[in-house]
Structure 1
């Protein structure tokens, strides 16, 4: 038995749930297919919170897209009546000539963002939990915060369902192909047809999008929670979101917003893998070694008992920038992949972009930086 839709979305995580909602909002008959239970913990869209920030050190070209994402998150809050985004300052810490500080300055300067520079002594005075060594500076962005990641995915799914979308969970996709002017999707249960296909498969893009010419890899990412020695120092009214560039790596953390305490992690710390099936999902006793070393040097008040651990995945491109584009060989297919550990905050806008691409083959939102063709000459 086959079923026909205007569009099918493969993968209903952060990006796929947003695309599903945006297509349903436009009146499209849309099906979302997810291999796991909805809002699962075997991908990249779990772990309670994700940082959202505008002074984007990775590249100034991200700023217009993240500004649109803020608008769409607030729109989704209005639509669903759910609190999804909490505003909170973001403190960027590192050497004055390092990539983090220089990148934040560049984005703030180009886009007129409000930031304040602090010396190490000023950071330690303003935020007593920190012990930032001399030779570092901080740039505080006021227009930042964090998203409740699972709640965001649920909100997009529920809003899409309310508009008539169909979602099938625990139905793995076996494969897809273009047939004339349509797309055929085969699952473990049946076959579906649609005029358009949107592939937001996360780490499984390594398999489902193997032909787009983008060399993707996968990385294990561990999220850790700690009980601080003085929890009052980590309340949201006195402690910021932070990113820190250090000689031993990059680290980030958030205020303590529940009984689990302070959430922190190292960024880009694990080996790159070829396939999501290689990920070790069980927490290890040594998962906190690097983060505890960072705490001892920069944030000693956080170095308390480990209370909780979650494992997720990054899906990486070689340049650590996203891929959002039409399939290079099939214009009926829109793809989004390789969000490289910093993509979730953009999901509300990426869903809009993917709906644009599926509907019209183009978008007014700025995605030139994210074209798949930039890897055409990659070895």
Structure 2
């Protein structure tokens, strides 16, 4: 007779691995399924580093979640013995009245987060790799930094497996449904049953959520540049993470390298639209020319011709906010997706939220902003 689990987790990237970790901490029988072998380079949870920040330009309501995520990342570090979060500081840059600067200040003030305002001249003195225009300023957050995504996923899965998590990798989920009050998941290799289900499959969520929701999968092209001059100014102790207002429609972001990969600089907006399985992962030289021109302007000590290229996915919502909550049609299914390029820092707390939702049917965290049916209401 087939085994029945308490919970099946579809997708073991940043969110799913954290959900599995929290579920195992509660003593449940859990099966995790991933179509690849996590951590892998085919989705949204790879690429050396991810930004962590608490003064949140996308809205002050994110701040309590970021604070809880910070505490949970530090707890996971202690338990795993691995370095997962490096607090190297962060700067939000742009004209003083731009959304990046004002949004960061607003959330910092609302939650009494310490920050420091830096002029273009002060930035040049403290962080000489950055070339700001005279009318630009920076909001400096000391406790911002980077997460190491592959190490985070490995830590979650290693601990969860040690506590009994079963996983199926290289196994594509074909469909799922509710049968006899429980959940049945059908894959290329088998059929699995559980009482509850978590769906956190990143760019594959549009095929799995099972209800109409406007998710847009976008292929991104992050780039890493080696230093041409003064390599020391790009070291983590002199080069904070950054988000930078470039035009009204375009922002860039980046961070230093930690293991020789170079300095990451990338556009937040733009990219090919399609499906996770249909988007081309080959990148042309024409595609990276715009970021090379920008790097030459803003970081002239980087070598624009010594560049490493990768691809990853954003899964965007129309409003840029997450999709997180109970499935609108099934009380025993929790879903997480649409992280719109700024979700990884929250993986630790979203794993906790997903475990709350499938175990208790609710969470103490305020996730009103992420209501999965908000687009149907509008």
Query: TM-score normalised to the size of structure 1?
Result: 0.96
SS at match of 1:2: coil
Aligned 8 A contact 1:231 1:261 in 2: no
Provide the rounded CA distance (Å) in 2 between the counterparts of 1:228 and 1:131.
15
Provide the rounded CA distance (Å) in 2 between the counterparts of 1:77 and 1:157.
13
**Cross-structure match for 1:359:** 359
Provide the rounded CA distance (Å) in 2 between the counterparts of 1:103 and 1:360.
34
Unaligned 5+ runs, structure 2:
none
Moved over 4 A (4+): none
**Cross-structure match for 2:259:** 258
Task: Quote how far apart the aligned CAs of 1:284 are.
Answer: 2.3
1:13-41 deviation per Cα after TM superposition (whole angstroms, max 9, x unaligned):
11000001100110000000001122111
State the superposition RMSD in angstroms.
1.3
**Cross-structure match for 2:221:** 222
**Cross-structure match for 2:89:** 89
Aligned ranges 1:179-258 → 2 under 5 Å: 179-211=179-211, 213-229=212-228, 230-247=230-247, 249-258=250-259
Provide the rounded CA distance (Å) in 2 between the counterparts of 1:199 and 1:42.
17
1:310-357 deviation per Cα after TM superposition (whole angstroms, max 9, x unaligned):
110000111010011000010000000100000001000000000000
SS at match of 2:373: helix
SS at match of 1:336: strand
Aligned 8 A contact 2:292 2:304 in 1: no
SS at match of 1:318: coil
Provide the rounded CA distance (Å) in 1 between the counterparts of 2:306 and 2:222.
11
Worse-superposed segment, 49-58 or 179-188: 179-188
Provide the rounded CA distance (Å) in 2 between the counterparts of 1:156 and 1:294.
37
SS at match of 1:278: coil
Aligned 8 A contact 2:295 2:304 in 1: no
**Cross-structure match for 1:312:** 312
Task: Quote how far apart the aligned CAs of 1:272 are.
Answer: 3.3
Worse-superposed segment, 192-201 or 297-306: 297-306
Provide the rounded CA distance (Å) in 2 between the counterparts of 1:326 and 1:217.
20
Task: Quote how far apart the aligned CAs of 1:377 are.
Answer: 3.6
Aligned 8 A contact 2:220 2:272 in 1: no
Provide the rounded CA distance (Å) in 2 between the counterparts of 1:6 and 1:35.
21
Task: Quote how far apart the aligned CAs of 1:180 are.
Answer: 2.9
SS at match of 1:106: helix
Task: Quote how far apart the aligned CAs of 1:98 are.
Answer: 0.8
**Cross-structure match for 1:101:** 101
Provide the rounded CA distance (Å) in 2 between the counterparts of 1:36 and 1:202.
13
Provide the rounded CA distance (Å) in 2 between the counterparts of 1:99 and 1:272.
25
**Cross-structure match for 1:8:** 8
1:73-112 deviation per Cα after TM superposition (whole angstroms, max 9, x unaligned):
1111111111111111101101111110110011101011
Aligned 8 A contact 1:196 1:332 in 2: yes
Task: Quote how far apart the aligned CAs of 1:228 are.
Answer: 1.2
Task: Quote how far apart the aligned CAs of 1:283 are.
Answer: 2.9
Aligned 8 A contact 1:231 1:256 in 2: no
Provide the rounded CA distance (Å) in 1 between the counterparts of 2:90 and 2:125.
16
Provide the rounded CA distance (Å) in 2 between the counterparts of 1:93 and 1:185.
46
Provide the rounded CA distance (Å) in 2 between the counterparts of 1:283 and 1:39.
22
1:98-142 deviation per Cα after TM superposition (whole angstroms, max 9, x unaligned):
110110011101011111011112111221112211111111011
Worse-superposed segment, 294-303 or 74-83: 294-303
Aligned 8 A contact 2:272 2:279 in 1: no
SS at match of 1:305: strand
**Cross-structure match for 1:79:** 79
Task: Quote how far apart the aligned CAs of 1:293 are.
Answer: 2.1
Unaligned 5+ runs, structure 1:
none
Aligned 8 A contact 1:133 1:298 in 2: no
**Cross-structure match for 2:134:** 134
Task: Quote how far apart the aligned CAs of 1:306 are.
Answer: 2.8
**Cross-structure match for 1:176:** 176
